[in-house]
Structure 1
C-alpha cells in the first residue's frame, strides 16, 4: 500500500504497524512515536494523540533528518 506523504494522515488509517518511541521519552507524555510502513516509509505521530494526525516521510527524508540531528544541525532550535 502506498501512503500519501502529506500532513494529517489519520493514524487510524495506518493499520497493523508497530509504533515505537525513544528510550529517552519521559513519563509526562512528551513523546514522538514512529512506525515503519510496509513500503519503507516512516509514519510519525504524537503519543498524546494516538489516532492522529500522523506524518508520513520517505526513507530518504528520515535518513536526512536523523543524520542532520546526529550532526547537530538542529541544536539551535533547543536554545
Structure 2
C-alpha cells in the first residue's frame, strides 16, 4: 500500500508520447512508488507501481518483450 498523497509528485511526460494527445505522465520521485497518469485527465485516476515492477515493465518495452 502507498500513501495516496501525491503533493510532492514531479510529473514528466513520457518521451514516447506522441503529438496526438495520447500521453502518459510519470512521477518517479516518490521513493516507494512510481505513479502514472493520463496527461489528458490529470485529476483522474493514478496507477501506482513498486519501482522494481516499473523498471521491469519499462525494460520489457525497450527490449520488445512482453511484461504480461
Structure 1 unaligned blocks of 5 or more: 75-79
Distance change in 2, residues 1:57/1:71 (3 Å) = same
Cα RMSD for the two superposed structures: 2.0
Q: 1:28: which partner in 2?
A: 20
Q: 1:63: which partner in 2?
A: 55
Which of structures 1 and 2 has the bigger CA Rg?
1
Q: Which has the higher contact order (CA 8 A, sep 6+)?
A: 1
Q: 1:53: which partner in 2?
A: 45
On the 8 A contact 2:8/2:30 being kept in 1, the answer is no
Question: Number of residue pairs matched?
Answer: 66
Partners of 2:30 and 2:18 in 1: CA distance: 28
Q: Of 18, 22, 30, which residue of structure 2 is paired with 1:38?
A: 30
- Tell me the CA shift for residue 37 of structure 1: 4.3
Q: Following TM superposition, where does structure 1 have runs of at least 4 consecutive aligned residues deviating by more than 4 angstroms?
A: none
Structure 2 unaligned blocks of 5 or more: none
Which is helix-richer, 1 or 2?
Answer: 1
